[in-house]
């Protein structure tokens, strides 16, 4: 396996969640009853608390740890029940457990669903093929779990009633909690997210500044007859801070923030989605100026009537409701709709028409200097040892999103805590970066000698060819310790930001990808299944070179691109290819030629440099992990011993 860039969406969120119930219809007596009821519940729950743990072997882990394992592809199956997630890992992992902070090995785990939504969860489960079982809590212990989980809400309600009462005098209108399932963020100077929490993203911030001005003082704009766009679409890769930005806009303007996540609708009963949307807008209008935020717009706003299995009733109803709400209010009303997506290409065109989401704000992956700024923001509350260099770290993390960087620092803090350090040092940060880049190490997997040799030569092949080719990205690390799903990884990191890929860069990339296979056949005269991922990626690249980028030999500067994403994402299945069978077979032949030539190229390099290949493979088999620096030294030494000619 080789891999060069990764950008995985990770997200830890913890925003001020503050349900604010309406107090007007509740009499004083009802409030008193509610308080008594919750006190009774506390007592009852306390006496039955033992009934809630069903699996004594399961280790309680924080949700963030669960996410790390999930990202690493290490979660085998989970059962969601009430607000609890139980599950099992493919291979054991370690966590900080117990009261003394010792390391605990665990395989079965239990974690709490966070009180906020995690929009990436379902996508991650699907991506890693994790078996998901949603159980209704019906038996007695389950019922207690539910009651226990309801408890804080009931208490909050009680507190809310009291608050609502005290605030009525000041003329605040609070909103019905639970009716829309949307969260209302009220202005709270102490905890609100502001633009200071969003590092980098200067362009997006500048574009949103106008909206903030409008929300602060709608009258000023109205007097001059100016109108605002109704809908603003934030577009960008996962984890680039779209949700964060939306929240910061509300914080900056000091207006209520209603948010709702598209993927939620998919989990609901038919009809609920549409009424949720209706309620949401009704409330937003009542408390205007306000912001409505629709996160993951693509999961409801996908092209209608497309994709495998035809339409999705719930989604279409919800989408229709959203469209009619967008049409139903005037531009000068004080409600601004923000939405976020990472797939603008699959959105229903009806959403993008004028008067709907007709303004786009692009949120890009951070550049090197922006990564430094993001790292600064997230290390504000983390003690760093003097040997940690955030600028260097930013340079070595191209393609990382804000969320990846946050995750990296969090992993580093976990590392340091595990070893009982008082500050996070360089080694913690480097381990964390490798973990985020390449997945969790899977130690304890027994690998035979023969297999080890095969792996060492396979990865050694990637490494040597990457070193020898001028345009290939520098090697960061080579390892035959299984990580995530891969048995071995040759990790390359581009030197700077790359935005367009020249042909010779792609050609070198193909040769590096196929060098694993070349090395196997050269040294052992055999082919292994370990090259599967390499072949898949190489084929994909070659196909795009030929069919999209006009880099084929005989085909000329033509793009045969069908703009196709995956059919699962709602693209038309039945759409015919816009080119003939003849062209299709030409493309196939061209792809094959590119791939065989690249394999040959890799093989020639390895043959000519065999002593270096042997040296790398031997070192790898012995040490299992080599840094880029070590590989460069080994190759240099091996080359000096070769007699000239
Ligand atoms: P998106 O909605 O684009 O997928 P999120 O807004 O959910 O991304 O980002 C997830 C987390 O990553 C945020 O809560 C924040 O902690 C961190 N993050 C992302 N981008 C930035 C940024 N530009 N500055 C600071 N933190 C960021
Ligand atoms: Zn490989
Ligand atoms: Mg988001």
The whole-number average pLDDT for the span 451-455 is 91
Give yes or no for residue 212 CB within 6 A of ligand 1. no
Give yes or no for residue 228 CB within 6 A of ligand 1. no
Whole-number Å distance, alpha carbon 509 to ligand 2 midpoint, is: 12
On whether both 189 and 129 belong to a single domain, the answer is: no
The whole-number average pLDDT for the span 520-532 is 90
| Tokens representing residue 305 in the block | 């009537």
Helix or strand (DSSP H, E) at 83: none
- Point out the ligand 1 atom lying closest to the alpha carbon of residue 370: 23
Domain final position from 172, 207, 222: 172
Whole-number Å distance, alpha carbon 635 to ligand 2 midpoint, is: 19
CATH classification of the domain holding 118? 3.30.720.210
| Tokens representing residue 423 in the block | 């500050």
DSSP-assigned beta bridge partners for residue 290:
335
Q: How confident is the model at residue 192 (pLDDT cuts 50, 70, 90)?
A: confident
Task: Give catalytic residues, as residue numbers.
Answer: 459
Whole-number Å distance, alpha carbon 73 to ligand 2 midpoint, is: 18
Most confident among 51-55, 161-165, 234-238, 299-303 (mean pLDDT): 234-238
**Is 256 exposed, middle or buried (CB count within 10 Å of its CB: 0-12, 13-18, 19+)?**
buried
Render 365-423 in DSSP notation, one character per residue.
Answer: PP-HHHHHHHHHHHTTTS-B-TT--HHHHHHT-TT--HHHHHHHHHHHHHHHHHTT-SS
Q: How confident is the model at residue 378 (pLDDT cuts 50, 70, 90)?
A: very high
Domain total in the chain:
4
CA 48 to chain centre: 38
Whole-number Å distance, alpha carbon 541 to ligand 2 midpoint, is: 15
Whole-number Å distance, alpha carbon 594 to ligand 3 midpoint, is: 39
The whole-number average pLDDT for the span 396-422 is 89
pLDDT for 165 beyond 70: no
Question: What pLDDT is stored for residue 606 in this prediction?
Answer: 95
Ligand closest to the CA atom of residue 516: 2
Mean pLDDT, the chain, rounded, equals 77
- Point out the ligand 1 atom lying closest to the alpha carbon of residue 13: 14
The whole-number average pLDDT for the span 578-591 is 86
Whether 67 is in a domain gets the answer: yes
On whether both 410 and 343 belong to a single domain, the answer is: no
Question: What pLDDT is stored for residue 16 in this prediction?
Answer: 31
The whole-number average pLDDT for the span 560-577 is 51
Ion ligand 3: residue ranges with CB closer than 5 A: 243
Q: How confident is the model at residue 64 (pLDDT cuts 50, 70, 90)?
A: confident
Ligand 1, atom 27, residue with closest C-alpha: 402
Ligand 1, atom 15, residue with closest C-alpha: 403
On whether both 457 and 587 belong to a single domain, the answer is: yes
| Interval 217-232: pLDDT, tens | 878 877 887 777 778 9
Ion ligand 2: residue ranges with CB closer than 5 A: 1, 516, 534
On whether both 378 and 523 belong to a single domain, the answer is: no
Give yes or no for residue 200 CB within 6 A of ligand 1. yes
Judged by average pLDDT, the poorest of 238-247, 327-336, 478-487 is 327-336
3-state secondary structure 382-397: CCECCCCCHHHHHHCC
pLDDT for 607 beyond 90: yes
CATH classification of the domain holding 344? 3.40.50.300
Ligand closest to the CA atom of residue 239: 1
On whether both 592 and 502 belong to a single domain, the answer is: yes
Regarding beta strands 359-362 and 335-341, do their DSSP bridges make them parallel or antiparallel, or are they unpaired?
Answer: unpaired
pLDDT for 31 beyond 70: no
Question: What pLDDT is stored for residue 539 in this prediction?
Answer: 93
pLDDT for 374 beyond 90: yes
Q: Identify the CA nearest to 186 among candidates 200, 173, 202.
A: 173
Domain that holds residue 82: 26-172
Interatomic CA distance for residues 624 and 632, integer angstroms: 16
Q: How confident is the model at residue 413 (pLDDT cuts 50, 70, 90)?
A: very high
On whether both 216 and 99 belong to a single domain, the answer is: no
Whether 645 is in a domain gets the answer: no
On whether both 96 and 192 belong to a single domain, the answer is: no
| Interval 82-140: pLDDT, tens | 678 889 998 888 877 655 667 778 889 888 776 556 667 777 887 888 877 776 544 44
Query: Ligand 1: which of 198, 406, 408, 413 to mutate, judged by most atoms within 8 Å of the beta carbon?
Result: 406
Question: What pLDDT is stored for residue 139 in this prediction?
Answer: 47
Domain final position from 328, 363, 398: 363
Whether 9 is in a domain gets the answer: no
Sequence-ordered list of residues with C-beta below 8 angstroms from that of 129, at least 6 positions apart, any chain: none
On whether both 411 and 311 belong to a single domain, the answer is: no
CA 221 to chain centre: 38
| Tokens representing residue 205 in the block | 């911030």
Judged by average pLDDT, the poorest of 103-117, 362-376, 595-609, 630-644 is 103-117
Asked if residues 375 and 340 have their Cβ atoms less than 8 Å apart, the reply is no
CATH classification of the domain holding 602? 1.20.58.760
On whether both 50 and 126 belong to a single domain, the answer is: yes
Domain final position from 332, 363, 394: 363
On whether both 201 and 226 belong to a single domain, the answer is: yes
Question: What pLDDT is stored for residue 547 in this prediction?
Answer: 85
Question: What pLDDT is stored for residue 24 in this prediction?
Answer: 37
Ligand closest to the CA atom of residue 534: 2
Render 175-240 in DSSP notation, one character per residue.
Answer: --TTSS--EEEPP-TTT---GGGS-S-HHHHHHHHHHHHHHH-HHHHHHTT----SEEEEE--TTS
Question: What pLDDT is stored for residue 39 in this prediction?
Answer: 58
Give yes or no for residue 243 CB within 6 A of ligand 1. yes
Ligand closest to the CA atom of residue 515: 2
The whole-number average pLDDT for the span 37-52 is 48
Interatomic CA distance for residues 219 and 332, integer angstroms: 9
Give yes or no for residue 262 CB within 6 A of ligand 1. no
On whether both 304 and 223 belong to a single domain, the answer is: yes
On whether both 462 and 594 belong to a single domain, the answer is: yes
pLDDT for 335 beyond 90: no
Give yes or no for residue 9 CB within 6 A of ligand 1. yes
Whole-number Å distance, alpha carbon 401 to ligand 1 midpoint, is: 8
Question: What pLDDT is stored for residue 373 in this prediction?
Answer: 94
Whether 57 is in a domain gets the answer: yes
């Amino acid at each position: 396996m080789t891999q060069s860039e990764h950008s995985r969406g990770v997200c830890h969120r913890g925003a001020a969640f503050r349900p604010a119930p309406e107090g007007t219809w509740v009499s004083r007596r009802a409030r008193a009853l509610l308080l008594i009821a919750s006190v009774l519940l506390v007592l009852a729950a306390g006496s039955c608390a033992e009934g809630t743990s069903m699996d004594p072997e399961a280790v309680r882990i924080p949700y963030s740890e669960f996410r790390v394992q999930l990202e690493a592809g290490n979660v085998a199956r989970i059962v969601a029940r009430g607000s609890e997630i139980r599950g099992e890992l493919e291979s054991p992992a370690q966590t900080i457990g117990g009261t003394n902070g010792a390391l605990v090995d665990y395989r079965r785990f239990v974690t709490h669903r966070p009180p906020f939504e995690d929009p990436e969860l379902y996508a991650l489960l699907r991506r890693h093929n994790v078996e998901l079982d949603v159980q209704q809590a019906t038996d007695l212990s389950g019922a207690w779990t539910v009651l226990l989980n309801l408890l804080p809400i009931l208490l909050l309600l009680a507190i809310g009633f009291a608050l609502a009462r005290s605030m009525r005098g000041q003329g605040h209108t609070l909103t019905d909690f639970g009716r829309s399932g949307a969260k209302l963020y009220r202005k709270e100077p102490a905890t609100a997210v502001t633009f200071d929490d969003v590092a980098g993203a200067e362009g997006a911030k500048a574009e949103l500044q106008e909206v903030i001005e409008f929300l602060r003082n709608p009258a000023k704009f109205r007097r001059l007859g100016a109108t605002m766009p109704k809908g603003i679409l934030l577009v960008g890769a996962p984890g680039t801070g779209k949700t964060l930005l939306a929240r910061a806009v509300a914080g900056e303007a000091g207006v209520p923030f209603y948010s709702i996540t598209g993927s939620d609708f998919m989990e609901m009963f038919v009809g609920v989605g549409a009424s949720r949307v209706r309620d949401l807008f009704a409330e937003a209008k009542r408390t205007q100026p306000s912001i409505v935020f629709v996160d993951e717009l693509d999961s409801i706003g996908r092209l209608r009537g497309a994709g495998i299995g035809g339409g999705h009733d719930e989604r279409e109803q919800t989408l229709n409701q959203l469209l009619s709400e967008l049409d139903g209010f005037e531009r000068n009303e004080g409600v601004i709709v923000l939405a976020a997506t990472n797939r603008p290409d699959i959105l229903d065109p009806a959403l993008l028409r004028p008067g709907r989401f007709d303004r786009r704000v692009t949120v890009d992956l951070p550049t090197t200097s922006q990564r430094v700024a993001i790292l600064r923001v997230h290390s504000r509350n983390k003690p760093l040892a003097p040997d940690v260099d955030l600028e260097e770290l930013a340079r070595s993390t191209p393609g990382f999103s804000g969320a990846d960087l946050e995750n990296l620092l969090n992993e580093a803090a976990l590392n340091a805590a595990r070893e009982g350090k008082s500050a996070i040092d360089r080694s913690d940060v480097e381990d964390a970066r490798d973990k985020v880049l390449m997945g969790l190490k899977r130690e304890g997997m027994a690998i035979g000698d023969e297999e080890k040799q095969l792996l060492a030569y396979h990865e050694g092949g990637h490494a040597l060819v990457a070193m020898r080719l001028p345009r290939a990205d520098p090697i960061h690390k080579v390892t035959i310790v299984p990580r995530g799903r891969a048995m071995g990884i040759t990790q390359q990191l581009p030197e700077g930001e790359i935005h367009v890929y020249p042909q010779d860069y792609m050609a070198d990339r193909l040769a590096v990808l196929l060098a694993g296979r070349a090395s196997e056949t050269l040294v052992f005269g055999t082919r292994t299944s370990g090259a599967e991922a390499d072949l898949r990626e190489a084929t994909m690249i070659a196909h795009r070179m030929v069919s999209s980028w006009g880099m084929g030999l005989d085909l000329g500067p033509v793009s045969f691109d069908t703009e196709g994403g995956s059919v699962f994402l709602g693209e038309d299945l039945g759409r015919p290819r816009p080119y003939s069978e003849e062209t299709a077979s030409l493309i196939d032949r061209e792809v094959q030629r590119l791939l065989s030539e690249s394999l040959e190229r890799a093989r020639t390099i390895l043959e000519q440099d065999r002593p270096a290949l042997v040296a790398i493979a031997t070192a790898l088999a012995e040490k299992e992990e080599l840094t880029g620096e070590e590989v460069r030294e080994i190759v240099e030494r091996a080359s000096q011993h070769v007699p000239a000619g």
